Each structure stands twice: as structure tokens, then as C-alpha cells.
């Protein structure tokens, strides 16, 4: 892949990624998110339903836990995971772990890394890892890495994580030299080091010295922990530092579950590519994303009118989402978000979705996934526009005001 920065805004970059290989004409504009998938599919959505979502990212992130155990069958299929999972026209980014879940700790060592699927643990050394990638034929692939660290991890373990990860990377580079199947696949190096500045620096510099096409920064939490990393004092500074050791001409990726406000903050620190697991997690909880990205944002009164139900139902609304399981939506015949033009909002009411949640119907999650994806993908359009037009500070201020508009805490 080829990454070019068009404009630097604060610490953030407006850029373009030109993939290698058959999808070479698909220019990806950053900041961007990937399509979050489970088992190779958008959560709850078959391809005919995914078509009803607009602005779907051109690249899907697929974690290995649920797919790697099937690699021999996928190899025999012969056309890669994209076509296997009926996402033929999509670019594929294989990552190690499901972005929405915690990772079972303590299973990695210098010989390999464990990923987790329905069937349990699947441990890979670099050689098996490369076999899996040859079967899946991704456009981008995250190198095998030991990210099983967080802010409580001791320095010795952090050093080991960095070493293991670099060793895996070297092993993979060696194994994929002159590899015909993976010749167009872009290897993404993982940056580790937990909350230790020295280890972060070492990991960044050493990884950047190797022929990788981009960087995935992880190891701040063991998979998804539910903790807002920005609430940890040292995080912002540490991320800034880490990024400063990375070259300008390669994209930086983070798979963290982040709300729009957290995305803006991370973008400002120089992150280019994000996961879309946040809308998935809202969906699983029966919540609908209703954040406002217009600049200047609508007045609080106008938003209340837009979002509120007849009985003034904002009790379970954080600034960014409403909880449609709440009884106050029982008789609310307005769409989830009046100004939203997604399939769900154009067709159904809050009352109906409340009923579907109340009766545990599958359709509740189908409809919320459509809405939440639509809104999150729309947000990235707004983020790029805002960065281009120089209104990023206003966007961040507006999102902060929305978040603080309600006592309940944000994820």
C-alpha cells in the first residue's frame, strides 16, 4: 500500500491510502474506520442487509480467532477470505483479536500467540500464522504480536512482549520473502510496550526499521477492557510519544473501541485508521448512537426536541446514545433519530425497536446495527470534512458538550 498525507491538522493527518494488488484503484481516505466483522460477516447482517447501510468502509477487519481454525478449508476454497465470506468487493485486513472482546491473558510465549474463537484457543507460531494468511489472502495483515499487556504489566513482561513481537515479525518477514500468494499483502507491524515509554520507543523504532507498511498500536489493554484509555493520565502523552517515533509516510492503526469524541482525540494524536466495534457494542446493549456532528451544533433545545419522546424521555441518554430498552420508548412513535436517513430510521419507530428488544427478537439487533453503523460511518465523513475545513476544535467542543449534557458515563 501507499500512504500519502495531504494535510496535517494539529497532530492529525488527512491522507489517502492506495492499496496494492487488485483493489489498487480503491483510494481510502483517512481518518477512516474499517468495517467491524465477526466470523467474517458484519454483525447480524447478511450481505443483502449490509447493502442497506451507506458509506460502508471499503476495507473489512477480520479477526483470526473465529477464522484461523478453518484455514485449511479456506485454503482449499482458493480465493481468499473476502470471497469466502461473500465480501468479494471489500479489501480485507486480518487482525489477531476481536476488537470488541477482552483477551484471555497469559497464553502467549516466545513460541507463539493464542487467538480465541467459539471453539476455544488457537495458538500460532510464525510458520502456522503465515499458512493461515496464505489461506485467507488478506490485503493487509497484522503481524503476529504479543499485546497481552496493560497498565499493570511489569517492565520485565513489557520488554518480553516487545521482544516476542519483534521476533515474530522477523520470522514472518523471513517466511514471506518471495511469497507469491502474499506478494500484494501489506504487513502491518504491531507496536507494544504497555505504559512504559522506553519500551514503546524501542518497539516503535525497531518496528519502523523493518519493511512494514503500517503500524498497529496496541498493548494498552488486554483486548477490549471497557476502560477509557484517555482517562488514564499517562496515556495521551505516551501515545503522542509513540507516534513521534513512527515515520510519517505509513498509516497508524488502533483497534480500540472508541466513541466519536475519543476518535477525535486519537486522530489529533496522529492515528489514521480505527475499528468500528463501538457501534457494535452499543447495538448489543440496545443503544442507538444519536450524537450530533453538525458545526455549529444544534442548540441543546433543538436537540432535545429532535431526540426526546413525548414524555420527555432522556433519562437513559448519554450525550451520544439512547437506550431503547428503556420503558420511556414504549409509546414513542418517532424514528430513532429524526434527522437520520438510515434504513432503520426511515422505516421503523423507537416504539417498535423497544418492543423487539423487550421480546429479544433478532430484528432489534439487525436494525440497531444498521443505524449505529450508518451513524458511525457518517461520523468519519464529518470528521474528515471538519479536519479539512479547520473546524475540528469546534467538533471536539461540541462532542464534549454533548457528552457532559448527561450524568451517565460514556463507554
Partner 1 sequence: MTTKGKHALSLNIVAQCSKSKARACLMTLPHAQVDTPVFMPVGTQGTLKGLVPDQLRELDCKIMLGNTYHLGHRPGPELLEKAGGLHKFMSWDRALLTDSGGFQMVSLLELAQITEEGVKFKSPHNGTEMLLTPEKSIEIQNSIGADIIMQLDDVVHSSIEGERLEEAMYRTIRWLDRCLAAHQRPTEQCLFPIVQGGLNAELRKKCAHELIKRDVGGYAIGGLSGGEAKEDFWKMVKLSTDLLPEDKPRYLMGVGFAVDLVVCVALGCDMFDCVFPTRTARFGCALVKTGQLNLKNASFAADFKPVDAECPCSCCKNYTRAYLHVLANTETAACNILTVHNVAYQLRLMRTMRQSIIEDKFPDFVQGFFDDMFPSGQFPDWAVDALASVNIHLR
- Using CB under 8 A as the binding rule, the residues of this chain from 276 to 305 that contact partner 1 are none
Please report, as residue ranges, which positions from 119 to 158 form the binding site for partner 1 (by CB under 8 A). 119
Q: Kindly tell me which residue out of 151, 355, 388, 406 binds partner 1, with binding defined by CB under 8 A.
A: 355
Neighbours of 102 (CB within 10 A): 14
Q: Which of 87, 102, 103 is nearest to 39 (CA)?
A: 87
Angle at 67 between CA 166 and CA 360, to 5 degrees: 125
The tally of CA atoms less than 13 A away on the side-chain side of residue 409 is: 5
Give whichever of 46 and 300 is closer to partner 1, judged by the CB atom: 46
Residue with Cβ nearer partner 1 (68 or 290) = 68
Give the C-alpha separation, 338 to 53, whole Å: 17
Cβ closer to partner 1: 62 or 383?
Answer: 62
Binding region for partner 1 (CB under 8 A) out of 102-110, 263-271, 309-317, 342-350:
342-350
Taking alpha carbons only, the member of 57, 64, 210 closest to residue 128 is: 64
Place of cell 519493511: 211
Strand 287-289 with 321-323, pairing: antiparallel
Cβ 327 to partner 1, closest distance in Å? 11
Collapsed DSSP state (helix, strand, coil) of residue 29: strand
Is-contact 286 357, C-beta < 8 A?
yes
Grid cell in block for residue 332 = 414513542
Q: Is 345 assigned to a binding site?
A: yes
Judge contact between 223 and 248, C-beta under 8 A. no
Which one of 366, 368, 383, 399 is in contact with partner 1 (CB under 8 A)? 366
Residues 38-77 that bind partner 1 (CB under 8 A): 38-49, 52, 66-67, 70, 73, 76-77
Evaluated on CA atoms 150, 151, 154, 156, the torsion sign reads positive
Using CB under 8 A, which of the segments 112-120, 164-172, 301-309, 390-398 binds partner 1? 112-120
Residue 5 in contact with partner 1, rule: CB under 8 A:
no
Q: Out of 356, 383, 392, 403, point to the residue binding partner 1 (CB under 8 A).
A: 356
Pairing of strands 113-117, 140-142: unpaired
Q: How many residues touch partner 1 (CB under 8 A)?
A: 44
Region near partner 1 per CB under 8 A, out of 135-143, 234-242, 303-311, 348-356: 348-356
The distance of closest approach from Cβ of residue 48 to partner 1 in the complex, given in angstroms and rounded to an integer, is 4
- Select 17 or 45, whichever has its Cβ closest to partner 1: 45
Q: Where are the extended beta strands (E) located within 140-261? A: 140-142, 186-191, 214-217, 252-254
Name 26's Cβ contacts closer than 8 Å, sequence gap at least 6: 19, 58, 91
DSSP, collapsed to helix, strand or coil, labels residue 187 as: strand
Contacts of residue 299, defined as CB under 8 A and 6 or more positions apart, other chains included, come to none
Only one of the segments 129-137, 274-282, 357-365, 390-398 lies at the binding site for partner 1 (rule: CB under 8 A); that segment is 357-365
Q: Which of 16, 18, 20, 117 binds partner 1 (CB under 8 A)?
A: 117
Residue 154: CB minimum distance to partner 1, A: 35
Binding mask 186-215 for partner 1 (x = CB under 8 A): ------------------------------
Q: Based on CB atoms, which residue is closest to partner 1, 13 or 44?
A: 44
Nearest to partner 1 of 86, 175 (CB atom)? 86
**344 labeled part of a ligand binding site:** no
Contact 58, 28 (CB under 8 A): yes
Residues in the site for partner 1, rule: CB under 8 A?
Answer: 38-49, 52, 66-67, 70, 73, 76-77, 84-86, 117-119, 330-331, 333, 343, 347-349, 351-352, 355-356, 358-359, 361-363, 365-367
Amino acid at each position: 500500500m501507499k500512504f500519502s498525507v495531504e494535510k496535517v491538522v494539529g497532530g492529525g493527518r488527512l491522507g489517502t491510502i492506495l492499496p496494492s494488488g487488485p483493489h489498487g484503484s480503491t483510494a481510502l481516505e483517512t481518518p477512516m474506520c474499517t468495517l467491524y466483522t465477526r466470523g467474517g460477516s458484519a454483525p447480524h447482517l447478511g450481505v443483502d442487509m449490509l447493502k442497506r447501510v451507506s458509506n460502508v468502509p471499503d476495507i473489512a477487519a477480520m479477526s483470526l480467532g473465529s477464522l484461523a481454525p478453518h484455514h485449511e478449508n479456506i485454503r482449499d476454497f482458493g480465493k481468499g477470505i473476502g470471497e469466502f465470506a461473500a465480501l468479494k468487493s471489500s479489501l480485507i485486513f486480518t487482525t489477531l483479536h476481536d476488537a470488541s472482546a477482552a483477551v484471555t491473558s497469559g497464553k502467549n510465549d516466545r513460541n507463539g500467540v493464542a487467538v480465541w474463537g467459539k471453539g476455544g484457543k488457537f495458538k500460532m507460531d510464525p510458520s502456522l500464522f503465515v499458512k493461515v494468511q496464505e489461506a485467507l489472502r488478506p490485503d493487509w495483515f497484522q503481524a503476529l504480536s504479543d499485546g497481552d499487556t496493560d497498565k499493570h504489566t511489569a517492565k520485565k513482561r513489557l520488554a518480553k512482549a516487545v521482544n516476542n513481537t519483534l521476533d515474530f515479525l522477523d520470522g514472518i518477514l523471513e517466511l514471506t520473502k518471495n511469497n507469491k500468494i502474499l506478494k500484494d499483502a501489506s504487513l502491518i507491524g504491531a507496536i507494544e510496550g504497555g505504559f512504559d515509554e522506553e519500551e514503546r520507543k524501542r518497539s516503535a523504532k525497531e518496528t519502523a526499521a523493518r519493511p512494514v507498511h503500517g503500524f498497529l498500536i496496541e498493548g494498552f489493554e488486554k483486548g477490549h477492557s471497557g476502560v477509557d484509555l484517555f482517562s488514564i493520565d499517562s496515556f495521551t502523552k505516551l501515545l503522542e510519544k509513540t507516534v513521534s517515533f513512527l515515520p510519517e509516510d505509513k498509516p497508524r492503526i488502533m483497534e480500540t473501541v472508541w466513541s466519536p469524541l475519543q476518535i477525535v482525540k486519537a486522530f489529533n494524536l496522529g492515528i489514521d485508521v480505527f475499528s468500528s466495534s463501538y457501534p457494535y457494542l452499543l447495538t448489543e446493549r440496545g443503544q442507538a448512537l444519536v450524537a450530533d456532528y453538525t458545526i455549529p451544533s444544534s442548540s441543546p433545545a433543538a436537540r432535545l426536541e429532535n431526540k426526546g419522546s413525548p414524555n420527555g424521555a432522556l433519562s437513559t441518554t448519554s450525550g451520544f446514545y439512547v437506550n431503547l430498552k428503556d420503558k420511556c420508548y414504549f409509546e414513542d412513535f418517532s424514528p430513532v433519530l429524526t434527522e437520520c436517513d438510515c434504513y432503520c430510521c426511515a422505516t421503523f419507530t423507537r416504539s417498535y425497536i423497544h418492543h423487539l428488544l423487550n421480546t429479544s427478537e433478532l430484528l432489534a439487533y439487525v436494525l440497531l446495527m444498521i443505524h449505529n453503523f450508518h451513524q458511525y460511518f457518517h461520523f468519519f465523513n464529518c470528521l474528515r470534512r471538519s479536519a479539512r475545513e479547520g473546524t475540528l476544535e469546534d467538533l471536539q467542543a461540541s462532542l464534549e458538550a454533548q457528552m457532559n449534557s448527561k450524568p451517565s458515563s460514556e463507554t
